[in-house]
Amino acid sequence: MHQRIKKVLSVVRDAWLIVGLALGLLLVLEGGYRLQAAARHRIGLRLLQEPAPPVPDETSRYPYADSAWFAGWAARRDDALRRAWRHHPYRGWTVDPFAIPGITVDSAGLRIVPGGRIGSGRDTVFFLGGSAAWGFTARDSSTIATHLDRGLRRRDVDDAEVVSLAQAGYNFMQGLATLQEQLRFGRRPAVVVFFDGVNEVGPYIEWEPLWGTYGQRLVSERIVLGRRTPMEEVMGLGRHLALVKRIRLALDPPPGPRGGIPESVCDTVVQWYLTGTQMVRSLADEFGFAVIFVWQPTLSATKKRLTDYEAYRMAWEEGIGLELNSLLARCATTADSVMALHGDIHYVQLGGLFDSYTTTVFLDGFGHVTEQANAIIGDTVAGLVAALLGRGENEAGRQGGGAAGQ
């Protein structure tokens, strides 16, 4: 019996040594692969006959290139957001509270509206959307929501509270889930503004399912990762190793857009957008609030004369194979056509808002604009909201007035 136990222990020891040696060899190969990949990348850049075009926001053309406030601000923003993401069971993710100069996220995970009348307004205005609505390229004092609040005050709407429920990366359905959550908590808005467009088509560009959200594949992988036992994690190290990922990618390329954008993509996107607006309208009727659906202005949809930076940005995005601009232009046209058939839905297309502007407005193809452009968007939306509240100068903007062009 004693000899049998010793033999079993010996087998276990040998097996453990074999596993350890195999893991050690794998780590050596992984380290060697990463070193040679980095070396090849650097050498390749030096051997290029023509230097790779610099990232637009690192050139002198960038509108904020000489702005003292922007120096280092974007890096601090990215670092703060990278550490603040947290999983949300219904909306995919939110952000934890954080504060850096120019960006403050409160205890509820929401971007603040400086000077807003928190809890004191007779009417509450919910503002929902993705990163452009959240203010990815703007300080707290210059987000669309902040300028919406100021625009209401200029129109003598002094008793409304603007609450920004936007989150970076959110699409329409995540905004709808956010609204439902607020209603479930007993919060009753007077007006709800949905500011969307880019993130309705974004998942396709990211090779995600159209019905999903940005990073959905990553979220799914993390859920699976959390369910694995320690042994399954050891056996599944391949998903963490660049060498194994490269081999797997070569053997089984991921699905994605091939040979151009299918004609049916915009039809699908807009049909789901329409369905979402109809769902929100049902909630509006049940809970007694007005709602505006704004299709955001984008670089692809504008007819403005592009500045040097805007033209460079569009060419750069096309040069790296990003099909977002052509897709957004098509989907914006499709959205206008479809939504025009539904006059009971207050839909506003802002694609032409900046057509006459000669200065730089668009910072990229994803709908991010300058702080000055945020002011114009916020004031435009404020006029629509004031009319819905019945205290603006333009009563024609009341809900039920039909789809608006600009």
Residue 385: predicted pLDDT: 97
Give the predicted TM-score (pTM) of the model. 0.80
Q: For 279-340, list the strands marked E by DSSP.
A: 290-295
Q: For 289-372, list the strands marked E by DSSP.
A: 290-295, 347-349
CB-based contact 208:217 (threshold 8 Å): yes
The parts of the chain modelled with pLDDT lower than 50 are 45, 47-49, 257-258, 394-406
3-state SS assignment for residue 223: helix
Residues ≥6 apart with Cβ < 8 Å to 245: 238, 239
- Would the CA dihedral through 174, 180, 183, 184 be positive or negative? negative
Q: Rounded to the nearest 5°, which phi and psi values hold at 290?
A: -95, 155
Of 243, 345, 262, 209, the residue nearest 28 (C-alpha):
243
Q: Which two tokens stand for residue 295?
A: 């299709």
Residue 138: predicted pLDDT: 97
User: How far from chain centre, in Å, is Cα 53?
Assistant: 25
Give buried/exposed letters for 355-389 (b at 16+ CB in 10 A, else e).
eeeeebbbbbbbbbbbbebbbbbbbbbbbbbbbbb
3-state SS assignment for residue 33: helix
Residue 401: predicted pLDDT: 34
Residue 254: predicted pLDDT: 56
How far is 226 from 158, CA to CA, in rounded Å? Answer: 49
Residue 143: predicted pLDDT: 98
Q: For 30-122, list the strands marked E by DSSP.
A: 85-88, 92-95, 98-100, 103-105
Residues ≥6 apart with Cβ < 8 Å to 285: none
Pairing, β 191-196 against β 103-105? unpaired
Summarize pLDDT for 31-87 with one digit per residue, the tens.
Answer: 776 676 666 656 554 544 455 567 788 888 999 999 989 989 999 999 999 889 888
CB-based contact 124:159 (threshold 8 Å): no
Q: Which two tokens stand for residue 259?
A: 């040979």
CB-based contact 112:98 (threshold 8 Å): no
Q: What residues does 94 pair with on adjacent strands? A: 86
CB-based contact 292:381 (threshold 8 Å): yes
Residue 264: predicted pLDDT: 85
Of 182, 180, 168, the residue nearest 84 (C-alpha):
168
Residue 344: predicted pLDDT: 94
CB-based contact 175:192 (threshold 8 Å): no
Q: Which two tokens stand for residue 40?
A: 């090849």
Residue 51: predicted pLDDT: 55
Residue type, 195: F
Tell me the CA distances in angstroms from 348 to 115, 319, 333, one per residue in order. Answer: 27, 32, 13
The torsion angle over the Cα atoms of residues 46, 48, 51 and 54, rounded to 10 degrees, is: -80
Q: Which two tokens stand for residue 136?
A: 């990815």
